[in-house]
A and B are shown apart, each in its own frame.
Chain A
Amino acid sequence: MFTPVTVLDPGWLAFLSPELASRAQFGWTISVHILFAALSVGLAPFIVYFTWKDVRTGDERFARLRSFWVKVFAAGFVMGTVTGIPMSFQFGTNFPRFAEVAGELIGGPLAFEAKMAFFLEAVFLGVLLYGRDRVGDRTYVLSSVLVGFGAWLSGFWILVVNAWMQTPQGYEMVVRNGLEIAQLTDPIAAFFTPRLPWMYVHMINASVISVALLVAGVSAYIVWKKRDAAAWNTALKVAVVVLLVSAPFQALHGDAYGRHVEDTQPQKFAAMEAHYETGQADLHLLAFPTSIDAISDPRAENLFTVSLPGVGSFLASGGDFDATVLGLNEYEENPPVALVFWSFRVMVGLGFLFIALALWGAFLLYRGRLSESDRYLKAMVVASPLGYAALLTGWYVAEIGRQPWVIQGELKTNDAVSAALSGTDATLTLAAFVVVYVALIATALYVLKWLIRGELRDLGATDDADDGWRGPLPEVNEND
């Protein structure tokens, strides 16, 4: 059979194995997709609030905020769709064995996601974007609620699938047509796995934090440029209040989530702390590599740590400083420990930074000086992408920490990869996805930049030579 690739195959193109290339491809596409998915989830409550206030009060501030953020939402939704469709295909193209084995368990929830959530979002986003003059006020507000509900429900069904992969239950392995597959035996158990509530709350809240930081950053930038931009002063306040609630909550929730991981996935927990020897575990509050090797191989002896002795055991066991915590040496194969260990530290570190930013903002808000503190405005602009950094690293802890399993304890990732897939095809498509998605992220950032510039132009803000500060965005001038 003629395929162009076989003819062109120079051999060296297949420098990645099908498994490695497939994992890299899936990891990469989901990393990009998740940014847009989280944007939808996190922005949904803001959109509902702005739309509701706009329709109810007729206040120009809220009309402006609604119009701006609905445009961001729409761009994010398109990007989420175009990056999400390849992902749903990858279960079949790259990991067909996973789709075969788990089809009965994951197919239902994924189909429910499409039918219950995705359609809802797509249909009513059309109304929200283009229908202001064509539907009544009530229908218009309802459309925003349905779009938001769709986004949150979509996350729910996706996490039903993911949580099942982390703590699978409600099935039994049977042989059908000569293949061993997981057959659904108990739908309630399979949908409502032990991990689901932890994952859902943590992920939704992470999306809200990320978007609150984004809204705060954009508002801070616009307020910086145009102090009397009433709408954006309001948006900044709203974002700070949202952050004040969500950021501390995430820390409390994350702590309890960690204990749950220790109960259900001790190997992942050990990787998060780079805990090799079974026995008492310390809690490393801070860790610094003492050599280059320590970055790729973080073990206690290679690190300078600030640790609380026995607190790892205390947390994992729920009260016993001497409790035994299983170490990585107990397992034949471990996840890439360094990735998990450092990702976890970045996530937690950023989480505490967000709490600090929220408290600082609350203090300024209380003093009535929120938009006057240049230092705070600058800090929020710089912090605007950090929520996403925390969200991604958290996702890496959850997903890379589960390796070598794709379905914990049941199916290894290595065995889920397509037997028909060549290293060349997998490497080529990986390269294509890297190029296209990098362009996509760049485009998304440009879109945001243009929207912000357009907004500044509308507000009549022009380049002010006095402020002296060059932010990450180019200056706006009258030619724009």
Chain B
Amino acid sequence: MTDWLPVDAYLVESLPEVWFGAVMFALGMYLVLDGFDFGIGILYATLDDEHDRETFLAAFGPVWDANEVWLVAFGTMLLAAFPRVYSRLLADHYLLAIGFVLALLFRGLGPELREQRDDDRWKRYCDLSFVAGSALAPLLFGVLAGRWVFDAPTLSLPAVLTGVGLVAVSVVTGAAFLAAKTDPGLARPLRRYGIGATAAYLGGVVALLAVVVLTDAGGAADVILSWPVAALVAASVLSGVAGSVFALRGRYRAWLASALTMPALLTVLVAVLLYPTVYPATGLTVREAVVSPLALNLTTVLGFPVLLLVLWYFKFLYGVFSGPIEADGYGE
């Protein structure tokens, strides 16, 4: 294999940067796709009606397992390309990371188990586990991300605002996804929650960036005052406002498209703030933290075509389950 795979040079000169982009792409896919799952979980708490609850669960039932795998893809790609960053990032945020995975665990079990037994108390426990896990997971992941990007303590404004921001943007995408998948009767209250969460998210992002500029957390003040960040913030505000207008006009697919842009832009913002390092606390740049050429070349040659295939599966999966959900949910 080493005959045709370069051992001492990257396949293309910019491969380390490409992998930084690939890792951020996986993170973005996770925040976008599992983000709306979290949002559905949080909005679920607003329902009283059993039929509505089942509709919410049916809306994401066939896809959430697959959405969650993007987290594993993100983690393992980070390990494969930047092992030192992976190990430091998790070792430095031990309790947050474990808390996050436990929250994911509760989120995942709730909907899976509630249908196994026709018993109101059992269903209440499962619902509680689902809602709490759905709210805690993005909160803890956001706090972890805030610490990661800004090198800030757990209970500091940058970390907490990032956590709250991630919860808010999840509610926005969750509301938009549900509105696009369910009937108008259910969509109406979702608009209110979605627009409120949009305002909270945009306000949170602006407050976060202001705090970071004022305190120069993680030395990020200069970057934040640069034009790419200004453009990203402007684009986020534009998506949020446009999405809210679409929501009010009942154009839910357009709302969904605008809403999903927001976590995607957030990921780009994270990438801009981090680069050229992957984890500022290590002081290592992308080039210093990346694995040796042979390992990265191999992961590229074997991994990238598969990544394209994965994107194709997702298109297929969402295609199979496209359109409004049926009255009885999907399947058997």
Nearest to A103 among chain B residues (CB) is: B83
Residue B46 CB within 8 A of the other chain: no
In the complex the two chains form, what is the Cα distance from A98 to B87 in whole Å?
8
Contact across chains for B288 and A75 when beta carbons are under 8 A apart: no
Residues on B with C-beta less than 8 A from A89 are 75, 90, 97-98, 101
Residues of B close to A432: CB separation below 8 A: 98, 102
Query: Complex formed: what's the CA distance from A116 to B2 in Å?
Result: 22
**In this assembly, does A385 line the interface, its C-beta being within 8 Å of a C-beta of chain B?**
no
- The secondary structure that dominates the B interface is helix
A177 B101 Cβ-Cβ under 8 A? no
Query: Nearest chain-A residue to B331 (Cβ)?
Result: A130
Contact B331–A85 (Cβ < 8 Å): no
- Alpha-carbon gap, A133 to B330, bound state (A): 8
Nearest CB on B from A173, distance (A): 12
For residue B220, CB closer than 8 A to chain A, the reply is no
Bound together, the chains give a CA A75 to CA B329 distance in angstroms of: 18
Q: Taking the complex as formed, is A265 at the interface, i.e. its CB lies under 8 A from any CB of chain B?
A: no
Of chain A, the residue at the smallest CB distance from B79 is A107
Q: Which of A120-128, A205-213, A231-239 lines the interface with chain B?
A: A120-128
Q: Name A416-444 residues within 8 Å CB distance of B.
A: 418, 420-421, 425, 429, 432, 436, 440, 443
Cβ-based interface call for B80 (8 A): yes
**Once the chains are docked, how many angstroms separate the CA of A184 from the CA of B296?**
10
> Inside 8 A of A98's CB, which chain B residues have their CB?
87
Smallest Cβ-Cβ distance to A139: which chain B residue: B320
Picked from A84, A115, A129, A185, the residue with its CB within 8 Å of the CB of B294 is A185
Q: CB of B249 within 8 A of chain A? A: no
- A75, A77, A82, A94 — most chain B CB neighbours (10 Å): A82
CB pair A93 B75 closer than 8 Å: no
Contacting residues, chain B, for A113 (C-beta < 8 A) = 76
A93-B91, A96-B91 given; A111·B299 CB < 8 A: yes
A120–B302 contact, CB under 8 A?
no
Measured in the bound complex, the distance between the Cα atoms of B108 and A79 in whole Å is: 8
Contact in complex: B105, A82 (CB < 8 Å) = yes
- Kindly state whether residue B257 has any CB partner on chain A within 8 Å: no
When chains A and B are docked, how far (Å) is the Cα of A96 from the Cα of B75?
A: 13
Chain B residue at minimum C-beta to C-beta distance from A66 = B332
Contact residues in A for B1 (Cβ distance below 8 Å): 186-188
Q: Chain A interface secondary structure, helix, strand, loop or mixed?
A: helix
Q: A131 in the interface, Cβ–Cβ < 8 Å?
A: yes
Q: Which residue, A1, A84, A119, A440, has most C-beta atoms of chain B within 10 A?
A: A119
Q: Could you tell me the distance in whole angstroms from the C-beta of B303 to the nearest C-beta in chain A?
A: 6
- Inter-chain contacts of A91 with B (CB < 8 A): 79, 86-87, 90
Enumerate chain B residues within 8 angstroms of A75, measured Cβ to Cβ: 112, 116
Does A285 reach chain B (CB closer than 8 Å)? Answer: no
Closest CB of chain B to A143's CB: distance in Å?
10
Q: A86-B102, A103-B86, A114-B73 are in contact. Are A108 and B65 (CB under 8 A)?
A: no
7 residue pairs bridging A and B, Cβ less than 8 Å apart:
A75-B112, A85-B71, A88-B76, A107-B79, A114-B77, A126-B321, A130-B61
Q: Chain B residues in contact with chain A, CB under 8 A?
A: 1-2, 5, 7, 61-63, 65-66, 68-69, 71-73, 75-77, 79-81, 83-84, 86-92, 94-95, 97-98, 101-102, 104-105, 108-109, 112-113, 116-117, 153-155, 284, 288-289, 291-292, 294-295, 298-299, 302-303, 306-307, 310, 313-314, 316-317, 320-321, 329-332
Q: Could you list 13 further interchain pairs (A-B, Cβ under 8 angstroms) beyond the known A100-B87, A106-B79?
A: A85-B72, A89-B75, A93-B90, A96-B88, A100-B84, A104-B83, A112-B302, A112-B303, A113-B76, A115-B307, A420-B91, A429-B94, A440-B109
The 6 closest A-B pairs by CB, nearest first: A103-B83, A92-B90, A107-B80, A96-B87, A130-B331, A130-B330
